[in-house]
């Protein structure tokens, strides 16, 4: 567990990875287990279930991209704080992802970043820093807000 800048607790999980064999399924399973531990699974509503599906698909996309374009992921980091999941995938590839302009949706391949754009609340990439070679691709997914009539109430003091 770590503390965020605003003093709230965030839960952090790390998975070291080597090579590409089985990396996507290992990362999906690791993420599903983390989401279950944080109460996202089993989903309370269909909307939450869809968001969980989105998160698992997005993990598959970024890990798959690391396998295809960067020799495989080196580490998956999951940060969960206040109903928001941040996924970070580190790899040794120097090139940052970039969307392809003017690409036809009917052409095979190259649609992973479109999926990120549509399903992630936010995403991007940054250099590893500190002289390390490679990058970290990150994305964020939030749970949908509960309607006011379905929110947990604070216990009376």
- Given a cut of 80, is residue 109 above it in pLDDT? no
Query: Which pLDDT score, from 0 to 100, does residue 14 have?
Result: 98
Burial bucket for residue 147 (CB in 10 Å: 0-12, 13-18, 19+): exposed
Mean pLDDT, residues 100-129: 81
**Residue ranges of the alpha helices (H) in the chain?**
23-37, 46-69, 112-119
Determine what percent of the chain is predicted with pLDDT higher than 90.
64
Strands laid side by side in the 73-81 sheet: 2-3, 9-16, 73-81, 84-91, 135-142, 122-127
| 29 CB neighbour count, 10 Å cutoff | 14
Cα distances (angstroms) measured from residue 34 to each of 77, 105, 134, 137? 11, 33, 26, 19
- Given a cut of 50, is residue 66 above it in pLDDT? yes
- Given a cut of 50, is residue 122 above it in pLDDT? yes
Burial readout 84-112 (b: 16 or more C-beta within 10 A, e: otherwise): ebbbbbbbebeeebeeeeeeeeeeeeeeb
153 token code pair? 């109430």
Task: Give the Cα separation of 144 and 132 in Å (integer).
Answer: 36
Cα distances (angstroms) measured from residue 14 to each of 23, 27, 88, 148? 14, 10, 9, 34
By the 8 A CB rule, do 125 and 93 touch? no
- Given a cut of 80, is residue 91 above it in pLDDT? yes
């Amino acid at each position: 567990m770590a503390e965020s800048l605003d003093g709230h607790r965030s839960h952090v999980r790390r998975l070291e990875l080597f090579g590409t064999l089985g990396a996507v399924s290992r990362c999906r399973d690791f993420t599903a287990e983390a989401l279950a531990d944080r109460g996202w699974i089993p989903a309370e509503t269909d909307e939450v279930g869809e968001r969980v599906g989105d998160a698992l698909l997005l993990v598959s996309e970024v890990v798959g991209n690391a396998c295809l374009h960067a020799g495989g992921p080196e580490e998956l980091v999951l940060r969960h704080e206040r109903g928001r999941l941040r996924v970070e995938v580190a790899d040794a590839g120097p090139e940052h992802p970039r969307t392809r302009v003017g690409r036809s949706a009917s052409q095979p391949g190259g649609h992973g970043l479109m999926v990120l754009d549509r399903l992630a609340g936010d995403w991007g990439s940054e250099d590893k820093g500190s002289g390390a070679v490679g990058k970290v691709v990150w994305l964020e997914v939030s749970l949908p807000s509960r309607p006011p009539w379905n929110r947990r109430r604070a216990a009376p003091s």
